[in-house]
Amino acid sequence: MVSVLLIAEHDGRDLNPSTARCVSCAASFAGNAVDIAVFAEHGQDVAEQAAALEGVRRILLIDRPENAPPLAAVLAPQVAALAADYSHVLGPSTTFGKDLMPRVAALLGVGQLSDIMAAETPYRFERPIYAGNAIVDVEADPQTKLVATVRTASYPQAVTGGSAQIEARSLNIDLPQHTRFVELRTDADTSRPDLQAAARVVSGGRGVGSADNFALIYALADALGAAVGASRAAVDAGYVANDLQVGQTGKIIAPELYVAVGISGAIQHLTGIKDAGTIVAINKDEEAPIFEVADIGLVADLFTAVAELTDALKR
């Protein structure tokens, strides 16, 4: 019997939208045999948000103080213990899931499949390699437990309206003491849409030229109600923080509208935006590879073009 244990991602208060996307993936091959595990301290609120996702059978809440920070070394043995009752264990292919799931797999003595983008059956999947330049069909052995991460940009969020039951579980396991959480440094601006969940994203690249010039990008994003992203070059140059990076090693996103400003379009960046509905590119270099994937391209000086576009949208 196929049944899925899905590991919830959350910040102690809100369920991360990546979990609802994983539910869609799990439901695509496991029907309603999908349980969500919430590891938290005081996790009732998060568990209730998970319980509201349509298509989920039940929520397992593992509440203990050690589960407050999302440390892979602490969570993995608990996930491995719960995994006994399931054929599949899934997590999102976010930094949370990528840190945790391989550790879980190794504890279970099995391999791990990264970045599921489609499931044909419970044991046949598609995943990207070479920064999305090739897609492989993968067949998994049905006799072996399957641990995997889900490429969240490939799946829509499951809708809410469900009412799965919440079961508190206590796991009698010694947890390692060798890893300690110190702090999370975040300057995430909560007044703006979240980059990974936003329907619209405006990103700036090296062409923006400085941290100060990024104000232009923020102004355009505000006019569109969009989140702000950046290319690796812009992050490396220190224009914006690392959590805004879009691409192979940053965030893989799938907004309805993606506006790339002063971004040349390295393969590693393009892999992060391939699932966007409409890609708009503004760049002064008409040879920039970004125009090969853009639905709407404009060769122009970005400083005048972005200001003009912002004005036009405000009107």
Q: 239 to 298, contacts with another protein by CB under 8 A? A: 241-243, 248-249, 251, 256-257, 267, 274, 278-280, 282, 291, 293-298
> Does residue 95 interact with another protein by CB under 8 A?
yes
Stretch that binds another protein, among 34-42, 51-59, 211-219, 303-311 (CB under 8 A): 303-311
Give, in order, the Cα–Cα distances in Å from 271 to each of 135, 147, 150, 246. Answer: 12, 24, 16, 9
Q: Is residue 121 part of the contact set for another protein (CB under 8 A)?
A: no
Does 206 bind another protein (CB under 8 A)? Our answer is no
Q: Report the Cα–Cα distance between both ends of the chain, in Å, rounded.
A: 57
Q: How far is the CB of 127 from another protein (least distance, A)?
A: 9
Exactly one of 160, 163, 179, 210 binds another protein (CB under 8 A); that residue is 179
Q: Name which of 186 and 210 has its Cβ closer to another protein.
A: 186
Phi, psi (deg, nearest 5) at residue 111: -80, -175
- The answer to whether residues 208 and 261 touch, using CB atoms and an 8 Å cutoff, is yes
Give the residue, chosen from 14, 41, 85, 144, that forms a contact with another protein under the rule CB under 8 A: 144
Residue of the chain from 103, 116, 150, 220 that contacts another protein (CB under 8 A): 103
Query: Judged by CB under 8 A, which of 81, 110, 166, 175 binds another protein?
Result: 110
The CA-based diameter of the chain, rounded to the nearest angstrom, is 62
Q: Output 84 or 134, the one with its CB closest to another protein.
A: 134
- Residue 166 makes contact with another protein by CB under 8 A: no
Residue 299 found at the interface with another protein (CB under 8 A): yes
Q: Are 245 and 223 in contact (CB under 8 A)?
A: no
Task: Check: CB of residue 175 under 8 Å from CB of residue 77.
Answer: yes
- Quick check: 140 binds another protein (CB under 8 A)? yes
Site for another protein contains 168 (CB under 8 A): no
Nearer to another protein, 2 or 106 (CB): 106
Q: What is the DSSP string of 255-295?
A: -SEEEEES----HHHHTTTTT-SEEEEEES-TT-THHHH-S
**Residue from 23, 27, 29 nearest 6 by CA:** 23
Kindly state whether residue 196 participates in binding another protein, applying the rule CB under 8 A.
Answer: yes
* 30-69 residues near another protein, rule: CB under 8 A: none
List, in sequence order, every residue forming a beta bridge with 53; answer none if it has no partner: 160
Report angle CA 76, 38, 228 to the nearest 5 degrees.
Answer: 95
88 binds another protein (CB under 8 A): no
The partner residues of 261 in beta bridges, in order of sequence, read: 204, 282
Q: How many CA atoms lie within 13 A of 218 on its CB side?
A: 11
Which is nearer to another protein, 168 or 313 (by Cβ)?
313
- Does residue number 182 form part of the binding site for another protein (CB under 8 A)? yes
Asked whether the beta carbons of 25 and 119 are under 8 A apart, the reply is yes
What does each C-alpha distance from 82 to 70, 213, 233, 297 come to in angstroms?
A: 17, 50, 42, 50
Q: 280 forms bridges with which residues in the sheet?
A: 259, 296
232 binds another protein, rule: CB under 8 A: yes
Q: Which residue has the tokens 């993606």?
A: 258
Tokens of residue 16, six digits = 């991360």
Determine, following the binding rule CB under 8 A, whether residue 98 of this chain makes contact with another protein: yes
User: Under the criterion CB under 8 A, does residue 210 sit at the interface with another protein?
Assistant: no
Q: Give the residue with the Cβ less far from another protein, 51 or 100.
A: 100
Which of 139, 167, 285, 301 binds another protein (CB under 8 A)? It is 139
Quick one: which segment of 26-34, 40-48, 98-106, 205-213 binds another protein (CB under 8 A)? 98-106
